[in-house]
Structure 1
Amino acid sequence: MKMRKLFAGIAAAATLLGGMVLGAASAQADDITTTVNTSATFTFTAETVEQLTKANLTAYKIGDYVQYGSDKNAAYGVVTNSDNKNAVDSALKTAGVNTANNQDNLAAALNTGALDISAMRPWNSPDKTRKFANALESENKLTGGTQVTFTAAPTGSDESGYSATVNLPAGIYVFIDSATATGSVTKAIPMIVASGTVDTEKKALTNPTAGATVNMKNTKNSVKTKTVDKASAAIGDTLTYTLTGVIANPAPAEFKFTDKPGKGLTIKAGTFKFYADNVEVPATDFTVPSSDVTGGENASFDVTVNDPSKYAGKTIKVTFNAMVNDEASVTDGVVNKLDNYGTDVEVKTGFVGFDFTKVDPDGKGIENVTFQVKDGGTVLYFVKQDDGSYKKAASATTSGATADVKTNGMGKLSFTGLDAAKTYTVTETNRASDVYLDIKPSFTVSFNNGTAVLSRTATSDPWGLVNTTVRTVKNVKSITQLPLTGAAGTTLFTVVALLVAGAGVTVAVKSRQRMH
């Protein structure tokens, strides 16, 4: 059979993106004898067996091999698979390859070298071939896919790697992985693979059914982790969370952190910072919530790396702030979770509290005695939960918040929603009635493994009214009921002396009045 210009500018094939072997021809002949449908073996290799067993591959044929002439004098070329012509043309255009209506655009792109060919494994390459492969997946126009079922279970070892094969009609394919990334492997990026061998001297496809090998373009995942800067906090405090994960190399098509803030947390938009290998990187490379996120049972938000290939192989760290709001449970604390490929990583920040009782000299509780609690020099606000029971408020503007807390009918006061790492000062500010002396002691509360520890000094409680062991604060109706030991006893003598002196002055004044 006479044939004219069987091959016009064939692109010699090499290993493309670790697995694409291409032979291409823009062929013109007197006639096309047949499309090559003989099976070829495609071998997938990987470093770990999970890269093969966890993948869920579908093969879409994008290029057919056609035979020109007789078997004895056959020559071969490439034409776009008719079922996927629209998908191929669209993806080529997206990748920046020139297309036209009067030509086979895939064959033309191969002939002119518009699709980059490399003998290396440039996972992060933004070249046209990678863009072409990504567009074939993302544009979702491919049809006629074949589910890949390996002919046998993968074989190999951890030392030498693993491999598995599948038989498909000879041609050019894009393999799309629909598996969800797991804790062991990433989702594979699209892989363009072609059967056949090429005579590099003649620049001709000589054996279209020869097998092809591709190194799986997924990789072992590193776990995602999450930390919080405070194991204990108070309601109203700000927590800083840190998310950490390594973007695999090759980079997956998508990399994101899915954060699940629990009840009692308000994620503050505008506080996000981003790092790659501990170097701060532009916020524009990430997509995060544009407004505050309120935590709850089903609340979640994503921190997405816009172009994972830019950070392939790098450790990504994201920090952000969250305020502990008034919805926080003083029993459970606040819990924030991070999705680690289907398994939640959980970090918790808890609260502590304390209580004491205001009593008279007989040990009976005194009702309606007013106290204030300070964190350093800041007066704290609380919301009443029940008589004598108060939960720390996130701020003074919280509904029902008050700085003045009062004892219940049993003289008891209890506080929750506080930080175990802090020391608080409690001061009596108003006695129950004029029946009691106007003496207002104060004391401090710190925490040892979550247990409240009360402390007093001679300055804060000169009368010795605070019993730190049984957690009581006494008040009395007369000075004779005051303790007579320590600083309190000294103070008592001073008071008595003043009273005696006062009485002496009164007697002297009356004596002088009588003399007149």
Structure 2
Amino acid sequence: MKMRKLFAGIAAAATLLGGMALGATSAQADDTPTPVTEKATFTFTAETAEQLNNAQLKAYKIGDYVQYGSGTDAAYGVVTNLDNKNAVDSALKAAEVTTADGQDKLAAALSTGALDISATRPWNTNANNQPSVTRAFANALESENNLADGTQVKFTAAPIGPDESGYYSATVSLQAGIYVFIDSAVATGSVTKAIPMIVASGTVKDKVLTDPVNGANTVNMKNTKNSVKTKKVDKDSAAIGDTLTYTLTGTIANPAPTEFKFTDKPGKGLTIKAGTFEFYADDAKVSAADFTGVPTSDVIGGENVSFEVSVKDPSKYAGKTIRVTFNAMVNDDASVIDGVVNSLDNYGTNVEAKTGFVGFDFTKVDPDGKGIENVTFQVKEGDTVLYFVKQNGSYKKAVSANTPDATSEVKTDASGKLAFTGLDATKTYTVTETKRASDVYLDINPSFTVRFENSNAVLFRTGISDPWGLVNTTDKTVKNVKSITQLPLTGAAGTTLFTVVALLVAGAGVTVAVKSRQRMH
């Protein structure tokens, strides 16, 4: 909301309450008062049309206008509405307004200026920054629940606007007088419930009510547009077993609603870690004691799983932005296709924070390009050996070695293929052959690395990790051979080949020498 809109609303509210606070004259004992029955138009303004559309207002008349005399000699006064006299007197007492015995208490409170103006959000203090008597009076009228049945407010037309100041408005026609408007609406994703509003019709001049019908008769709706609740996760991509940090954010309206909470819905594959929750108000860390519903044990995510973290006293943090952070581990139930999703209820609409997984595959082949079955490989992240569980023809990363059926020795299938899932697109993995399929093949163990570009796996090899050039990074194949004559003879691999041949020849020489000695014996 732009600041000019806020101040425009404050000015409208101040004008209205100022008129009410000053708009009473004492009754003249020698005249017979005549009730003012003309209709007045009351205007409600708001920053959004939703604030007006969502409100379920009832108008309770608390003050009647009466006329003494007529024509140019006419004067006007205020008397408490008879149907609500007990409620008004009780609410004034609750607001600590004292009047002399025998006086009309509402008229006396107005004429003495006991009812002040609360001009700024949340409309609970006056111009001297003291607790507002008018706000206490209005709240008491609502909370004491002893008002006579009111009139359901039906706006004469749909809200119009916005005007030049960015405000929407709607009107209702009621008999001239003083009203308290009470909202019974339930807060939505757009707006809060309005606090009670005291509104008076007419014009006040020099502390005298000169016209009981025509005047500003305008009040800014005292509900507030809810800010959107958001949810973020620190990683768009992760691996199974990783820890994610979630942040829930929302601003408490001012005036504060009666309830403010975050409803978190951890999906399948997430374990919310108790003891990791931290709380902030406008970036300053605050006590966990100000919140309820914080999990005291780990929460395993799944369908229809949720927990609620509520602010104990929303008014303590009115107008402040609340942040809640916590950690969650990606567990073995995570879907490698859908990733893990943690949702936040944003006034009936889910806000999702999703973390996905990536994978890669390659094929072990013989010199003819035919797949080799049952070749063993190992995958590392840095120096850490990773564990996998075979699932649906591929190997899904496991949280740890303790995961049932987890293994660090993965084997190619009948077509020579190996596929891995549940990995992190931001990490680099090293794949090393650890055991050949059989003695038919040479015992050569090439190695290569896998990185991800736009979630697509890219293979890399070096002359050190794969001196024979057995890894084809384009075709994503790893070759093995049955004879050294089938090895590539290029680059570092060719140089190494000569060394191997020399060793083989040297070994043959040793064998010949041994046999020669045997003949001499």
TM normalised by structure 1 equals 0.77
Match 1:275 to one of 258, 275, 280? 280
Superposed CA offset, 1:267-297 (max 9, x none): 3343333334433334344445324444444
Separation of aligned partners in 2, 1:476 and 1:268: 50
1:8: which partner in 2?
Answer: none
Does residue 113 of structure 2 align to residue 121 of structure 1? no
Alignment partner, residue 359 of structure 1: 365
User: Counterpart amino acid of 1:368?
Assistant: N
Residue 232 of structure 1 aligns with an amino acid whose one-letter code is S
Matched, 1:176 2:183: yes
Judge which range, 272-281 or 424-433, deviates more: 272-281
**Structure 2 residue 268 is the aligned partner of structure 1 residue 263:** yes
CA gap 1:270/1:108 in 2 versus in 1, 3 angstroms: farther
Q: Distance in 2 between matches of 1:105 and 1:426?
A: 90
1:53 aligns with 2:59: no
The amino acid across from 1:493 in the alignment is F
Q: Which moved more, 1:113-122 or 1:374-383?
A: 113-122
Measure the CA separation in 2 of the matches of 1:46 and 1:445: 61
Distance in 1, Cα, partners of 2:399 & 2:470:
31
Question: For each residue in 1:405-462, what CA deviation from the matched residue of structure 2 results, as whole angstroms up to 9, or x when unmatched?
Answer: 2221222111111111111111222333333333322211111112111111222222
Q: Residue 449 in 1 paired to residue 454 in 2?
A: yes
Equivalence for 1:369: 375
State the AA in 2 paired with 1:484: L
Matches of residues 283-362 of structure 1 in structure 2 within 5 Å? Answer: 283-291=288-296, 292-362=298-368
Shift of 1:496: 1.9
C-alpha contact (below 8 Å) 2:233/2:247 kept by paired residues: yes
More helix by share: 2
Among 465, 470, 482, the alignment partner of 2:470 is: 465
Q: Partner residue of 2:195?
A: 189
3-state DSSP class of the match of 1:53? Answer: helix
Residues 255 and 208 (structure 1), Cα distance of their counterparts in 2 relative to 1, 3 Å cut: farther
1:75-94 alignment, distance < 5 Å:
76-78=78-80, 81=83, 85=87
| Residue matched to 1:496 | 501
Distance 1:331 1:157, change over 3 A: closer
Once residues 103 and 312 of structure 1 are traced to their aligned partners in structure 2, the CA distance between those partners, rounded to angstroms, is: 41
Q: Secondary structure at the match of 2:237?
A: coil
Supply the distance in 1 between the matched residues of 2:415 and 2:325 (Cα, whole angstroms).
47
The 10-residue stretch of structure 1 (269-278 or 399-408) with the greater mean CA deviation from structure 2: 269-278
Is residue 164 from structure 1 mapped to residue 163 from structure 2 by the alignment? no
Counterpart contact for 1:17–1:123, Cα < 8 Å: no
Residues 466-475 or 315-324, more deviating: 315-324
Contact 1:18 1:215 in 2 (8 A): no
1:18 Cα deviation after fit: 7.7
Three-state SS of the structure 1 residue aligned to 2:279 is: strand
**Amino acid paired to 1:236:** G
Q: What is the DSSP-based 3-state SS (H/G/I as helix, E as strand, rest coil) of the residue aligned with 2:54?
A: coil
CA pair 298-191 structure 1, distance change in 2 beyond 3 A? farther
C-alpha displacement of 1:312: 4.0
Q: CA deviation at 1:123?
A: 1.0
d(CA) in 1 for partners of 2:374, 2:140: 72
* 2-structure distance, mates of 1:103, 1:431: 106
Q: CA deviation at 1:130?
A: 4.4
Q: Which residue is equivalent to 1:422?
A: 427
> How much has 1:470 moved relative to structure 2?
1.6
Contact residue 77 and residue 205 of structure 1 kept, 8 A: no
CA RMSD of aligned residues (A): 4.5
Structure 1's unaligned 5+ residue stretches are: 1-14
Q: Which amino acid aligns with 1:420?
A: A
1:109 Cα deviation (Å)? 12
2:425 counterpart letter in structure 1:
A
Structure 2: how far apart are the matches of 1:397 and 1:105? 80
Question: C-alpha distance in 1, partners of 2:334/2:241?
Answer: 10
CA–CA separation in structure 1 for the residues paired with 2:147 and 2:399: 54
Cα distance in structure 2, aligned partners of 1:259 and 1:105: 53
**Alignment TM-score, normalising by the size of structure 2:** 0.76
Decide which moves more: 332-341 or 496-505: 332-341
State the shift of 1:301 in Å.
4.0
Conserved 8 A contact 1:55-1:177: no
Could you tell me how far apart the structure 1 residues matched to 2:108 and 2:470 are? 92
Identity, % of aligned positions = 64
Q: For 1:434, what is the secondary structure of its paired residue? A: coil
